[in-house]
């Protein structure tokens, strides 16, 4: 099972210090040397950074706004989220610079792919998890299927969306769909998030590493269950 895309989003109370630190943030991101495309979106009052490797195998973007920061890292595959530790450290630096210590929502979303022999057999793998009485309600067999569930413990939640994907659908999920090697795959979209998060000193690297282990473990258990026939 391989990781192909990682998205994080951090929501916090309005940090109007973004405006007084606007130049500092731009200078800091520019000095990292990682973001060749760096600018401002005055309409949404956002700092926008992006990077696309020459191989077009990796695409990354970052947005810094008054009350949230979001970022996307895509590679086919991503060997480990640790390869972006410097970028996560940079986000932590910006949040600590803005003195943000209380967050409304903090989430990291992981997209895993497991190559599969055919789209039809992948559909059957998932449809077997649904009672035959349900399929009897329809005149035709399902041409596609997804299973979605959300699991919460206090303020912390995990959302798992799993289903089959074929090559002509990759463009809806990835910025560089041609770089995905598998013709058909099982997608495990795992979103880990927490509400009302507080931190004295914010460290996105540790949060991503923690959620990655949880997300990968959950996806692997789901795959094992599916392949065992439930």
How does DSSP assign 138-206, residue by residue?
A: SSS--S---EEEEEEETTEEEEEEEEEEEGGGGGGT-SSGGG---SEEEEEEEEEEEEEEE-SS--HHH
Q: What is the pLDDT of residue 53?
A: 75
What's the confidence (pLDDT) of residue 170?
Answer: 95
Q: How far is CA 164 from CA 68, 115, 146, 182, 205, in A?
A: 32, 10, 7, 12, 30
Looking at residue 143, its pLDDT comes to 86
pLDDT of res. 214: 96
pLDDT reported for residue 225: 93
Phi, psi of 202 (to 5 degrees): -80, 135
At 42, give phi and psi (nearest 5°).
-70, -25
Question: pLDDT tens, position by position, for the chain (230 residues)?
Answer: 999 999 999 998 877 778 888 999 999 999 999 999 999 988 878 999 999 876 656 789 999 998 899 999 999 999 999 999 999 999 999 998 888 878 989 999 999 999 999 999 999 999 999 998 998 999 888 888 999 999 999 999 999 999 999 999 999 999 889 899 999 999 999 999 998 888 778 899 999 999 999 999 999 999 999 998 75
pLDDT of amino acid 54: 61
Q: Is the bond leading into 204 cis (omega within 30 degrees of zero)?
A: no
């Amino acid at each position: 099972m391989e990781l192909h895309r990682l998205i994080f989003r951090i929501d916090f109370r309005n940090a109007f210090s973004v405006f007084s630190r606007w130049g500092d943030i731009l200078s800091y991101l520019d000095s990292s040397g990682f973001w060749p495309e760096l600018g401002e979106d005055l309409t949404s009052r956002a700092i926008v950074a992006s990077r696309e490797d020459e191989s077009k195998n990796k695409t990354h973007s970052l947005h810094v706004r008054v009350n949230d920061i979001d970022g996307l890292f895509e590679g086919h595959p991503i060997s480990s989220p640790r390869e972006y530790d410097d970028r996560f450290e940079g986000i932590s630096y910006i949040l600590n610079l803005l003195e943000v210590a209380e967050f409304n929502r903090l989430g990291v979303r992981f997209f895993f792919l497991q190559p599969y022999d055919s789209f039809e057999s992948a559909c059957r793998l998932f449809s077997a998890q649904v009672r035959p009485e349900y399929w009897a309600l329809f005149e035709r067999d399902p041409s596609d299927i997804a299973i979605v569930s959300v699991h919460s413990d206090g303020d912390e939640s995990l959302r798992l969306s799993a289903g089959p994907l074929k090559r002509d659908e990759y463009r809806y999920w990835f910025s560089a769909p041609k770089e995905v090697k598998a013709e058909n795959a099982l997608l495990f979209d795992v979103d880990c998030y927490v509400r009302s998060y507080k931190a004295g000193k914010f460290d996105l690297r540790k949060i991503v590493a923690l959620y990655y282990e949880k997300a990968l473990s959950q996806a692997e258990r789901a795959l094992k269950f599916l392949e065992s026939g439930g």
